[in-house]
């Protein structure tokens, strides 16, 4: 399975947030701006982290925020948010987070496959560092496309 396209509307750079909830909300807003998910999807992503802990911090500096497929998801998609200041999610090894990827998928099978694909592509710390340092939407899109 390949990653869905990354539209410009799904990218937010150097976002200022106060906490992990703000970081996840920023990622949810990017999904909403791109027509991928309803605004309520951000609440679902936060609820999942509240219930299950900071499991979304999948690599040093990288969080993969997501929730189960449901009515909040309009279509499969990904958003990328880079943070102006890294944020702590409470992960014992991979904090602080400087890049938040948000994943919205409308089928359970595709959800599992895409989470695994993203985790595999971003297990290289230089990819995360490069995304965090990106200064333009086009640069993020090029870096992201380089992972597929």
Positions annotated as catalytic residues are 66
**The two structure tokens encoding residue 29:** 């807003």
User: Cα 64 to the chain's mean position, in Å?
Assistant: 4
SS3 for 130?
helix
Contacts of 51 (CB under 8 A, 6+ apart): none
SS3 for 68?
coil
Measured CA to CA, the distance from residue 43 to residue 101 in angstroms comes to 15
């Amino acid at each position: 399975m390949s990653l869905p396209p990354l539209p410009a509307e799904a990218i937010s750079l150097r976002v200022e947030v106060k906490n992990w909830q703000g970081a996840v909300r920023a990622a949810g807003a990017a999904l909403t701006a791109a027509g991928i998910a309803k605004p309520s999807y951000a609440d679902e992503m936060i609820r999942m982290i509240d219930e299950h802990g900071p499991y979304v911090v999948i690599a040093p500096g990288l969080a993969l925020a997501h929730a189960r497929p449901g009515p909040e998801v309009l279509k499969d998609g990904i958003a990328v948010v880079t943070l102006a200041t890294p944020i702590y999610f409470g992960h014992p090894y991979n904090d602080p987070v400087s890049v938040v990827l948000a994943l919205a998928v409308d089928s359970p099978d595709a959800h599992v496959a895409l989470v695994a694909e993203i985790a595999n592509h971003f297990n290289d710390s230089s990819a995360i560092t490069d995304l965090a340092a990106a200064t333009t939407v086009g640069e993020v899109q090029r870096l992201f496309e380089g992972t597929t």
